[in-house]
Amino acid sequence: MHVPDGFLNAPTSLATGAIAAGVVGISLQRASREVRESGPALAGLTAAFVFAVQMVNFPVGAGTSGHLLGGALAAALVGPWTGLLVMSVVLLVQGLLFADGGLTALGTNITLMGAVTVLVGFLVTRGLLRAMPKRLGSVVPAAAVGALVSVPIAALAFTGLYAAGGAVDLSIGRLAAAMVGWHVLIGIGEAVITAAVLSAVVATRPDLVYVARHLQADLVLVDDQGRTTTVSPDRPVAAKPAGRSLGAGVAVTLLIAGVVSLFASANPDGLEFVGAKLGFGEAAKESAVAGSPLADYGVSGIGNGHVSGALAGIIGVLVTIGVGLLVAKLASLRRRAESASEPEPASRA
């Protein structure tokens, strides 16, 4: 639900406005390599996609249907920074053109449904992928859990904002319980839909999925003289594992142990791998990789996500860890401020 004007008092609204402006500003910079390479066109089209898909009625079983919020899905598809921009743009259009969400609540809505869902969803997804087997089949379950967790945490963040500047006096404990409880249910729906949509994309074009890039097999090219070259699809220039906070790694393991023991696998190389994925893009290239209007190729993919139902008791643990994770990661991301940039979108025919 979009927060309207008047829910939160003016100082809180202005503060969230500042937070939103700051986060969006950071995203513009961080995604600037990405966004400039494929241009704002890609982010704009993805935003159009999210907007359109939010209207879709997805049957989630038992005769009910639900709608997609899309934060975790956007992060999985186009990366956290572009994903954040995408969601922010959707919320801006909804607020400015459709009066959905108050004009003074734009900061709040962008912070909650743009920043929190995207970043939490991405961190959880990426954290899980590090610990899971390095296969394409890991992407969908990881993203599903990311989606599942992102929604109640955003609800928790809303409760926090409400505690700071809510217009009506409510027992914060009761509000938190109600919000988180209700949003766990919504999170389940979000996880189911995210899993379904993402598995459809992974099945046809895994090269377009941001979190799946490092999971593709290398290409072996043969030239006319029979010489072979091996090319990695995302072409990292320097596989530099940037400073990673081990605390976050431990937190992620706790998360996995708590929820999805099926997927847990102690794999120390995971860090190296993702370091390469989040390595540094090469110098700006013209869109040789922008592909041609010609036909796309298909890759037979794997896996349908199986989404495990959330267990209410676990949620408390998830929430705590999730918040801790978020704080830790934001701190470590800031440390990589100057040199961090996202790798190029994988090239394709």
Pick the closer one to other proteins by CB: 48 or 271: 48
Pick the closer one to other proteins by CB: 99 or 237: 99
Smallest separation (angstroms) from other proteins to the CB of 183: 14
Backbone φ and ψ for 210, nearest 5 degrees, come out as -60, -45
Smallest separation (angstroms) from other proteins to the CB of 63: 5
Q: Which residue pairs, CB below 8 angstroms and at least 24 apart, start in 250-255?
A: 251/127, 251/321, 251/324, 251/325, 251/328, 252/124, 252/127, 252/128, 252/130, 252/131, 252/325, 253/131, 254/317, 254/321, 255/124, 255/127, 255/128, 255/317, 255/318, 255/321, 255/322, 255/325
Smallest separation (angstroms) from other proteins to the CB of 123: 22
Query: Do 62 and 70 contact (CB within 8 A), yes or no?
Result: no
Pick the closer one to other proteins by CB: 5 or 267: 5
DSSP string covering 236-295: -SB-------HHHHHHHHHHHHHH-TTT----THHHHHHHHHTSB--S---GGGG--SS-
Pick the closer one to other proteins by CB: 103 or 327: 103
Pick the closer one to other proteins by CB: 57 or 339: 57
Smallest separation (angstroms) from other proteins to the CB of 152: 18
Query: Do 340 and 333 contact (CB within 8 A), yes or no?
Result: yes
Smallest separation (angstroms) from other proteins to the CB of 54: 10
Pick the closer one to other proteins by CB: 14 or 302: 14
Smallest separation (angstroms) from other proteins to the CB of 86: 8
